[in-house]
Amino acid sequence: MTEVRRYRCIAFDAVGTLIEPSPPAGEVYFQTAQRFGSRLAADDVARRFKQAFRESELVDVTAADREHHVTSEPRERERWREIVTRVIDDIPHPGDCFEELFEHFARPASWRVFADVPETLARLEERGYALAIASNFDRRLHAVCDGLAPVARIALRVISSEVGYRKPAGGFFEALAARSACTPQEILMVGDDQTNDVEGARRAGIAGVLLNRRSLAGRGEIATLRELFNLLAE
């Protein structure tokens, strides 16, 4: 089959799409909390982390983008400080605990690349696609990606703390289009978050596809990155 080129650039979310914490974040929080004197149970810490992170990601998608989704390096750092403080609330020195956790997730060794990533990225490059990472993260993501060979090859990284907007803000996707030197119609956004990655992209005129690794693929979503080629061949 001759491939029909609809896109010039394929942009990927980072966490949950290309990479994931290893060990899982909840486990790391528990182990770190114990060192600082916490008596919280492992299951409780994991549950608290999921809830605090999910609530920190909640946005009012009907509100004005430029008022509700503005961010920066200090704002992202403070967001993580608040998450740590909410999750681990029974220790005498939460600031020190936060610093240790913040540094932990800045190390490439704290992350792993999903098994389908190396082959997918290599095949996309062979077909001539430009690649980008488009992530709600902070500048730590550069060190993480640089230390993970399969994703280090992606030079274009659009990071919320650096462009000033978090997904699903239109400003974030405007930055993606500008930095990739593509029109919105020439970009495909791939991510594991329906609101941030897919709906946010679509409102900006960018096609979005949901990666759902936990279930069978359905219409409009894929279960592995390898299935992306079925969409690109349409």
Contact (CB, 8 A) for 137 and 116: no
The count of structural domains within the chain is 2
Judgement on whether residues 58 and 160 belong to the same structural domain of the protein: no
Q: Is the pTM of this model over 0.85?
A: yes
Q: 214 pLDDT band (50/70/90 cuts)?
A: confident
Q: Which domain holds residue 97?
A: 23-108
The tokens for 220 are: 């409009």
Model confidence pLDDT, tens digit, residues 12-22: 999 999 999 99
Judgement on whether residues 16 and 124 belong to the same structural domain of the protein: yes
Q: 177 pLDDT band (50/70/90 cuts)?
A: very high
Residue 3 is predicted with a pLDDT of 46
Q: What is the mean pLDDT of residues 43-72?
A: 80
- In sequence order, the 6+-apart residues with CB closer than 8 A to the CB of 214 are none
Residue 231 is predicted with a pLDDT of 86
Judgement on whether residues 29 and 67 belong to the same structural domain of the protein: yes
Model confidence pLDDT, tens digit, residues 89-148: 999 999 999 999 999 999 999 999 999 999 999 999 999 999 999 999 999 999 999 999
Residue 108: DSSP 8-state: G
Model confidence pLDDT, tens digit, residues 24-53: 999 999 999 999 999 999 999 999 999 999
Residue 171 lies in a domain: yes
> Which residue, of 108, 128, 149, is where some domain finishes?
108
